[in-house]
Amino acid sequence: MTARRIIPCLDVKDGRVVKGVRFEGHRDMGDAAELAARYRDSGADELVFYDIAASPEGRTLDYGWVEDIARLLDIPFCVAGGIRTVEQAARCLDHGADKVSINSPALERPELIAGRAERLGRQCVVVGVDSQFQDGEWRVHKYTGDPNARRGAGRLTMDWIVEAQDLGAGEIVLNCIDQDGVRKGYDVAQLRAARDRLTIPLVASGGAGAVEHFTTVFREADVSGALAASVFHSGTIAIPDLKRALDANGVEVRL
């Protein structure tokens, strides 16, 4: 069995890490570089950095900032934020990122997924999906980094993740909006439905509040990784303690 991954997520705005509830009301959580170094030293398997203002502002992220983060880390990290072309994605990798995530731009131009997979290799291509339960269906939203710009994407979540996989995505990060920031547990039902439709790795996002939430999502939804933010940023859960608990409960992790 492949070891399950613990992945702190850093939503970045103007060089600072922020965190909200259901993608709204962002609060400052600290300096991005300082938090990255802390997670590196505490045993995180990967890190994810989202420049949450990039897509709503119509820009891409700062490559110099990516390079600065790469100098700090000896673990894989993924970046996202307004990366609209294959060339921009390639530049992120050239500056030290291991993976590049695409979300809203892929909804507008799905061919971006195929283009990145063909040129960069699908192992580098992550598709982020922001999903909310509405009218009896899980539905995709875009521009979620800005409450004023956020809107429905006109796609059903389960259809979109399969399309993204078929286009060449190497991994799906499913962000469950209804659970985001509320710390009541991952949306296991939605993640299980997604897992049943995918053959590529699936990462759970949104809802972690206690150690048992990680155990449950690995066991019941069979995800490859669990992403979390506020419980790590605040120190509510320490990664070494989490990994020891998962190991004691029969979930294979890198200790």
Residue 98: closest CA among 60, 70, 119 = 70
Residues 68 and 26: their CA atoms lie apart, in Å, by: 24
Which residues, 6 or more positions from 249, have their beta carbon under 8 angstroms from its beta carbon?
215
For residue 146, indicate whether it is catalytic. no
Q: Please enumerate in sequence order all residues whose Cβ is within 8 A of that of 195, keeping only pairs 6 or more positions apart, or say none.
A: 202, 221, 222, 223
Q: How far apart are CA 132 and CA 232, in angstroms?
A: 23
CB neighbour list of residue 255: distance below 8 Å, 6 or more residues apart: 43, 243, 244, 247
Q: Which residue from 213, 131, 209 is spatially nearest to 173, judged by alpha carbons?
A: 131
Identify whether the C-beta of residue 165 lies closer than 8 Å to the C-beta of residue 194: no
Q: Name the catalytic one among 45, 51, 98, 130.
A: 130
Beta strands 16-21 and 5-13 are: antiparallel
Let me know if 94 is a catalytic residue.
no
Query: One-letter amino acid identity for 62?
Result: D
3-class secondary structure, 202: strand
Residue 96: closest CA among 49, 53, 146: 49
Cα–Cα distance measured from residue 108 to residue 21, given in angstroms and rounded to the nearest whole number: 26
Active site residue ranges: 11, 130
